[in-house]
Amino acid sequence: MPILKLPGLIDPHVHLREPGAPHKETWDTGTAAALAGGFTCVLDMPNNTPPVVDATALSAKDRVAREHARCDYGFHLGANEENAADTAALAPYTVGLKMYLDQTFGPLKMEGLGALIAHARAWHPDHPLLCHAEGRTIAAAILAAHLAGRAIHICHVSRKDEIELIRAAKEQGIRVTCEVTPHHLFLTDADIPAIGPGRAEVRPRLATAADRDALRANLTIVDCFATDHAPHTLPEKDSENPPPGFPGLETALPLYLALVDAGLLTLNGLIERVVTNPRRIFGLPEQTETWVEVDTAAVWQVHGADLFTRARWSPFEGWTMRGGVTRVVLNGKDAFRDGTIVAAPGSGRNVRKSINEMSLRGAS
């Protein structure tokens, strides 16, 4: 059995849904999915119900994650039209400030240019600022950050024009980084009928083959891979009003390895995009005594019902994958072994200070 040993993977963009929507995913099931996929650290997005835009919501998420996470984790804080003056105080407890500048799932979309500029100025210059932006909005976000003298990270870039704009900005020395998802690297709008129209809803939308090819041709510009693991239940996806989003934690690594097999990326280039660059961009601690073992010859078929995610479906249903995670060691202990989650809920660690620990200390 040819075993490939990798450092623990980091996913800088997941939606674990708790608090607010535990029927879609919980910290328990979502971090089990992460470990099964080879991820030992996940950074969770703020579009919960209620959204994580203040200390109260952050401390509620911190409490549930601390009790239930099976792998290491961090929290992105959400920007809204009102909180620009208040976010900096929460920076020590978060891994980044997320701005939703285009429409997606959740209530956090900011309409105004003013709010974008205010957050770019107010958020701590050394803490990551990231955004969901598409098309022309990407140009606005890059310029607002540049004028504020700071870096910005563009989430889930999906189109040719966008990656080429980011390339041009980087070539000018502008401080912009970006991530792409496995689904935008492997699926296109031609796959929508086979996936089904509701299930195929995702933001950014599945794009054209030319867009996918442009992402693949510009991997040198792509700093990170991110799953954007965004679980919704099948009844929700198959409903009249399907919410956008795909589960992705358990199918990502074999797809990333397929890019290496196809000669689009070296193995070191993959490790940069799933470990080294996310760690640098989001200022994450090194995970010691932490690694992943992958049987590179293992061939398996994706069946949603077999996955650890509570969503139990995949846009890659029926795909044949090569590469199976056989073992994950996290912080010196087995966390996943031969198909079984070993790490206990609550064994994961917050990569930042816990806001609750701080207020407990402050109160004593």
Residues making contact with ligand NCD (CB under 6 A) = 15, 47, 104-106, 132, 202-203, 228, 230, 243-245
Min. distance of Cβ 361 from Zn ion in angstroms?
32
Of the two residues 38 and 51, which places its CB atom closer to ligand NCD in the complex?
51
144 binds, among ligand NCD, Zn ion, none (CB under 5 to 8 A by kind): none
Min. distance of Cβ 323 from ligand NCD in angstroms?
24
Min. distance of Cβ 117 from Zn ion in angstroms?
23
223 binds, among Zn ion, ligand NCD, none (CB under 5 to 8 A by kind): none
68 binds, among Zn ion, ligand NCD, none (CB under 5 to 8 A by kind): none
Identify the CA nearest to 249 among candidates 272, 274, 270, 214.
274
Min. distance of Cβ 45 from Zn ion in angstroms?
5
Min. distance of Cβ 249 from Zn ion in angstroms?
12
Of the two residues 244 and 283, which places its CB atom closer to ligand NCD in the complex?
244
Q: Let me know: does 164 contact 175? Beta carbons within 8 Å.
A: no
Q: Let me know: does 82 contact 113? Beta carbons within 8 Å.
A: no
In 3-state terms, what secondary structure has residue 57?
A: helix
153 binds, among ligand NCD, Zn ion, none (CB under 5 to 8 A by kind): none
Q: Let me know: does 212 contact 204? Beta carbons within 8 Å.
A: no
Of the two residues 132 and 327, which places its CB atom closer to ligand NCD in the complex?
132
Q: Which helix (H) or strand (E) holds 179?
A: strand 176-180
Contacts (Cβ under 8 Å, ≥6 apart) of 198: 237, 238, 239, 242
| Residues within the interface to Zn ion (CB under 5 A) | 228
> Which residue, chain included where needed, has tokens 């087995």?
334
Which amino acid is located at 80 in the chain? N
184 binds, among Zn ion, ligand NCD, none (CB under 5 to 8 A by kind): none
Of the two residues 236 and 272, which places its CB atom closer to ligand NCD in the complex?
236
Contacts (Cβ under 8 Å, ≥6 apart) of 362: none
47 binds, among ligand NCD, Zn ion, none (CB under 5 to 8 A by kind): ligand NCD
Of the two residues 230 and 294, which places its CB atom closer to ligand NCD in the complex?
230
105 binds, among ligand NCD, Zn ion, none (CB under 5 to 8 A by kind): ligand NCD
Rounded to whole angstroms, the maximal C-alpha distance in the chain is 59
Min. distance of Cβ 75 from ligand NCD in angstroms?
14
Neighbouring C-alpha atoms within 13 Å toward the C-beta of 145 = 28
Of the two residues 8 and 20, which places its CB atom closer to ligand NCD in the complex?
20
Q: Let me know: does 285 contact 239? Beta carbons within 8 Å.
A: no
Which amino acid is located at 364 in the chain? S
Min. distance of Cβ 309 from ligand NCD in angstroms?
13
Give 78's strand partners.
Answer: 98
- Structural Rg of the chain based on CA atoms: 19
Q: Let me know: does 190 contact 233? Beta carbons within 8 Å.
A: no
146 binds, among ligand NCD, Zn ion, none (CB under 5 to 8 A by kind): none
Of the two residues 162 and 228, which places its CB atom closer to Zn ion in the complex?
228
- The distance of Cα 348 from the centroid of its chain, to the nearest Å, equals 17
Min. distance of Cβ 228 from Zn ion in angstroms?
4
Q: Let me know: does 226 contact 86? Beta carbons within 8 Å.
A: no
Q: Distance between CA 258 and CA 141 in Å, rounded?
A: 32
